[in-house]
Amino acid sequence: MDNPAFDEYASAASATSDGSTGSTTSATATTSTTSGTATSAATASTTSTTSESASGSVSSGSSTSTTGFDGPCDQRSVDWLVRVHGSGSQHLENVAIAEDGDVGVLGTFNGALRIGDQEVATESLGNDVFIARFSPDGILKWQRTYGGVGSQTGEGVAFDSQGNLVFVLNNGGSVAFGNDTKTKQGMAPDSVVARVDPSGELLSAWALSSADWAVLYDVAVAPDGGLLIAGAFNDTLSADVGWSEVGIGNRSAFIAKLDGAGERVWLRRSEGPGTSVAYGVDVSGAGEVVFTGFFVDGAITIAGTLLAVANGDGDNAFVARVDKDNAPVGVEAFGGAGSQRATEAVYDPNGNYVVAGEFVQALGGTDLVTESGKVDAFIYKTDVADMNSSWGTVAGAADAEHSEALAAAADASLAWGADFAGAFAVGECDVASDNPAFFIVESDPAGLITWAQGYSAAPGDAGVENLAFDGDASLVAVGWHTDALTIGGETLPGPADAKDDSFLVRFAALP
């Protein structure tokens, strides 16, 4: 079947399962390394209803420790769980962890918005954007909404070393930041880079616009405080602080580094004839930058390397790296017989880079092949010191899988999440859902899976949007659901109007 999340230039933060029900034909998720196979993980969980506290979090009841955790298929304890809901649709898009352990989230809502039992907004003007900050204990500190005429969509979020929250959104109309209203300049969406201080007060908002298309999908903060942004543009990209970049006519993937005033430090874009998008960006402790995306309709040159189309009309994934001064470090293409997209990238503490995404048939440059014959999710880690220690994992069921959730911990362990429908085994554990559902996997640095779990809101749908580790190796996740959803023994009720609610959960650190 066709995969809607493979629609060209669809939002990286809003791709979800294709919604078809069906088959439980078994497939297998495998981890491939040069030295062998490491597999394990994932099942579904059950029952017990929660109540919301005045803080906006959900009490975790008996699931407050990892006592009794005996293996990677066991249900993982939940420290706290927050419900984001209201009439209409509420969709958490991304999550980040501050140095002090606070949790920041970015989302999109249409209608009313409640976080826990706190009413945030009674209505929206179409799709509006919200941010919120929580203490390490899941207590809501503050929230802000940004909206206006047309549709706005939250995409990427990060914290800087001062505890300021940085986020990017795409603007399909006009959006107000205090007394400053950003209005799109062309027919397609523009984008905004914004920052708020630790109290939620606005520090800055800079618009990037084009006569045709200027979108952002991710943001990261460099060690020197610079902001790394990733996205795509047509025509000429113009910032309202005064700088511009002339395009090539085709839609071009780009990354840019901005200083604290929104001025361009440097910018790198692809060159055609193909069209391309950059979906994910991250920065290492040394300031090296990795970015991912895909290209289609012809070859592109990016970071000084020509990448050829490998599959005719299909999407071709890429990952590229530049140093802190924008000098090329390396480029890889994942093009194969079918379509591929690389949607997320992270560095581990050792400077190795990890990419997640989705593909059909084969992932070029690796030995990974799809398990299901349809769209499967993947994660691939490149060990920069020892290429023979690089490894990848594929997860596939009878229906399409989509992955855009990826995080690295301080000990170099990794977490990965994907949406799925169908049934498959990951090592010794099974995941199954006729309706779109999601799984989350945690692995050690060598790819051995230490925990995984599947979560279903059947008969409704559910998905995971992103993940983050805090300094204690606790794992934080955000996602959405259209019916009652149980996580770690706690059940969130389904939306009252059959649209989607969202969740924010912190899982306890593994023993």
- Rounded CA separation 503/483 (Å): 12
C-alpha 503 chain-centroid distance: 14
Rounded mean pLDDT of the chain?
Answer: 85
201, pLDDT greater than 80: yes
Average the pLDDT over each of 62-76, 239-253, 345-359 and give the range with the smallest value.
Answer: 62-76
Q: What are the residues facing 380 on neighbouring strands?
A: 355, 392
Q: How confident is the model at residue 21 (pLDDT cuts 50, 70, 90)?
A: very low
Average pLDDT rounded to a whole number, residues 33-54 = 34
Cα 405 to Cα 5, 258, 345, distances in angstroms: 15, 25, 9
Closest CA to 140 of 221, 203, 200, 219: 200
Between CA 141 and CA 144, with CA 142 as vertex, the angle to 5 degrees is 160
Which candidate, 465, 479, 439, 445, places its Cα nearest to that of 29?
439
Decide if pLDDT at 49 tops 70.
Answer: no
What ranges do the domains of the chain cover? 19-85+364-375+387-511
Q: Is the pLDDT of residue 19 over 80?
A: no
The DSSP letter of residue 217 is E
| Residue 71, burial from CB neighbour count under 10 angstroms (0-12, 13-18, 19+) | exposed
| Enclosing H/E stretch for 163 | none
List Cβ neighbours of 343 (8 Å cut-off, separation of 6 or more): 12, 15, 279, 280, 292, 356, 357, 358, 403, 404
CA–CA separation, 440 vs 438, rounded Å? Answer: 7
Average pLDDT over residues 257-263: 97
Which CA distances in Å does 500 have to 53, 57, 143, 295, 399?
21, 18, 20, 31, 21
Instruction: Give Cβ neighbours of residue 159 (< 8 Å, ≥ 6 apart).
Output: 96, 97, 98, 99, 102, 104, 165, 166, 221
Whether the CB-CB separation of 451 and 41 falls below 8 Å is answered with: yes
Task: Centre a 10 Å sphere on the Cβ of residue 65 and count the other Cβ atoms it contains.
Answer: 12
Sequence-distant (≥ 6) Cβ neighbours of residue 506 within 8 angstroms: 78, 79, 80, 81, 103, 138, 470, 474, 475, 476
pLDDT of residue 402: 87
Tell me what pLDDT residue 247 has.
Answer: 83
Percentage of the chain exceeding pLDDT 90: 66
Say whether the peptide bond before residue 223 is cis (omega within 30 degrees of 0). Answer: no
Residue 266 has pLDDT above 90, yes or no: yes
Above 90 in pLDDT, residue 480? yes
Q: Which residues pair with 184 in a beta bridge?
A: none
3-state secondary structure 32-68: EECCEECCCCCCCCCCCECCECCCCEECCCCCCCCCC
DSSP lists the bridge partners of residue 452 as 441
386 contacts: CB under 8 Å, gap ≥ 6: none
pLDDT digits (tens, 9 = 90+) for 330-383: 999 887 778 899 999 999 999 999 999 999 888 888 888 887 778 899 999 999
Helix (H) or strand (E) holding 297: none
Q: Half-sphere exposure (CA, 13 Å, Cβ side) for 455?
A: 32
- Our CA angle for 70, 29, 444, nearest 5°, is 50
pLDDT over 60 (residue 56): no
* DSSP letter (8 states) at residue 265: E
* Strands, sheet with 140-146, edge to edge from the N-terminal-most edge strand: 88-97, 103-111, 128-134, 140-146
Q: What is the Cα Rg of the chain in Å? A: 21
Q: What percent of the chain has pLDDT over 70?
A: 86
423-450 pLDDT, tens per residue? 887 767 778 889 999 999 999 999 998 8
User: Which residue type occupies 90?
Assistant: Q
> How far, in Å, are 38, 135, 232, 290, 405 from residue 446 at the CA level?
8, 32, 33, 20, 19
Q: Are 234 and 219 in contact (CB under 8 A)?
A: no
Question: Tell me, what's the pLDDT at 427?
Answer: 62
